[in-house]
Amino acid sequence: MPLVLGAIVPHGSIAIAEWCTPEQRPLAAKTRTAFEELGRRFDAARPDVTVLLTPHHVHVEGHMAIVTAGAMHGVLEGGAARVELHAKLDRDLAHAIQSAIAAAGVPIVGVSYGANDAAASVMPMDWATQIPIHFMGGRTDPAVPIVMLAPARDLSWDLHVKAGRAIAGVASASKKRVALIASCDHGHGHDAKGPYGYTPASKIFDDRVVELVKRNALAELLTFAPGFPIEAKADSFWQMLMLHGAIGTAWRAEFLSYEAPTYFGMLCAAFTPAD
Per DSSP, the residues of 180-224 read: EEEE-EEES-S-TTSTT---HHHHHHHHHHHHHHHHT-GGGGGGS
What whole-number distance in Å separates Cα of residue 243 and Cα of residue 53?
Answer: 9
- Predicted pLDDT of residue 170: 98
Give 76-109 as a DSSP string. Answer: E-SSSS-EEEEEEB-HHHHHHHHHHHHHTT--EE
User: Where do the domains of the chain lie?
Assistant: 3-272
What's the CATH code, domain 3-272? Answer: 3.40.830.10
Burial class (CB in 10 A: 0-12, 13-18, 19+), 141: exposed
Helices (H), the chain: 29-45, 91-103, 127-135, 157-173, 200-215, 228-231, 237-247
- Predicted pLDDT of residue 176: 97
Band of residue 1 on the pLDDT scale cut at 50, 70, 90? confident
- Predicted pLDDT of residue 275: 73
Compute the mean pLDDT over every residue in the chain, rounded to the nearest whole number.
97
Question: Is 15 strand, coil or helix?
Answer: helix
Residue pair 241/221 in contact (Cβ under 8 Å)? The answer is: yes
Band of residue 2 on the pLDDT scale cut at 50, 70, 90? confident
Q: What single letter denotes the amino acid at residue 186?
A: H
Q: Tell me, yes or no, if the pTM score tops 0.95.
A: yes
Task: Give per-residue pLDDT as tens, 124-181.
Answer: 999 999 999 999 999 999 999 999 999 999 999 999 999 999 999 999 999 999 999 9
Residue pair 62/151 in contact (Cβ under 8 Å)? The answer is: no
